[in-house]
Amino acid sequence: MDFLTLFLLYLCFVLLVTALLCLCSGRKESFLARSVNRASQVLPLVIPTQLQRVTHRVLHRLFHTRNCLFVVLHVALQAAVFGEYTWEVFGYCRELQFHPLLLLLPYLLLVGNMGCFLLCSRANPGIITKSNHASLVKVYAYDGVMFQRGIVCPTCSLEKPARSKHCSVCGTCVHRFDHHCVWLNSCVGALSARWFLLYLLSLSASAAALALLTTALLLHLHHGARGHHHPVAVPSLVQHLFLTFPRIVFMLGFVILLTLILGGYGAFTLYLAFTNQTTNEWYKSRRLGGSQNRSLVYKNIYSKGIWKNLKEIFRPPTALERKKK
């Protein structure tokens, strides 16, 4: 097996693990948990009962209770990537006289990203309480299909306002609930949606900036070593760069995959913002679209145009503001 095949297998493995972690984020029952549960049901004689119990407890702890494991993993991954960038890429780029603003761009994006991360993870997402329930009920109208009047949350004992949902992880009802993000250890709701959008976009931009700078560095180093008059095949080029700069190449592969995944998720989040939908509403609308009950026809009554939809993200409406108008 040649080197390029091994490197592609590494990239596929990183992509698979990252995709699984993203699928596990923000779901009541994660993809990984369902897979393990199904496997334990199909193979009860192969998997020991004690191992099944331990696995169930670990998965329940990770994805059904609030914990800081993914927050620590998030910080550790960023520290590893930016540590490698600072230790090697930044130094090489300075020697090659890259523009200082280009070299500082990833750090500037990192500062903005960490600021949005702290605001999003520590901010009140829009928890519904007895004191604010009466005002939040008046913010959005009930569409009669996805959100109906008179439904009471059995846990909070409060009538659910339109576009709200009870988060089983946090144990509270959240106004304009989007999803529960394990990477933030918090829900994304009406009051934190703007910080989550900025957090996701800045994270995507920082990964893209690292990928572009690292690629430019490796190409510059390769051309400087080989000259411009000796074309090299792609497998030989990748192998040469890996043998010369192994840590940089591994980091580049990781950030490229991360850029693709985060870019796709960021585009999806922007689409939801432009159309004034939440992840919870989008998922429910797909289920209603595939329902056999033709009387349940969902129509998004909350969209008011791209500009007003974005304005609602960054300045959530309240019943008090409506009265003032």
pLDDT tens digit sequence for 257-268: 889 989 999 999
Check residue 320 and give its pLDDT: 41
pLDDT digits (tens, 9 = 90+) for 175-209: 999 999 988 999 999 999 999 999 999 999 999 99
Mean pLDDT of 313-317: 91
- With cut-offs at 50, 70 and 90, classify the pLDDT of residue 30: very low
Check residue 250 and give its pLDDT: 84
pLDDT > 90? residue 162: yes
Return the minimum-mean-pLDDT range out of 30-34, 66-70, 89-93: 30-34
List the one residue out of 310, 112, 66, 313 whose CA is nearest residue 209: 112
Please name the residue ranges forming H helices in the chain.
3-24, 31-42, 49-63, 69-84, 90-95, 100-122, 133-136, 193-226, 234-244, 246-275, 279-289, 306-314, 319-324
| % of residues, the chain, pLDDT over 70 | 70
Angle at which helices 69-84 and 246-275 cross, to 10°: 130
What is the maximal distance between C-alpha atoms in the chain?
75
Return the minimum-mean-pLDDT range out of 94-103, 129-138, 239-248: 239-248
Annotated catalytic residues are: 181
For residues 293-312, b (16+ Cβ closer than 10 Å) or e, as one string? eeeeebeebbeeeeeebbeb
Other C-beta atoms within 10 Å of 31: how many? 16
* Average confidence score pLDDT of the chain: 81
Check residue 324 and give its pLDDT: 38
List the one residue out of 283, 279, 259, 257 whose CA is nearest residue 270: 279
Model confidence, pTM? 0.80
For residues 210-229, b (16+ Cβ closer than 10 Å) or e, as one string? bbbbbeebbeebbeeeeeee
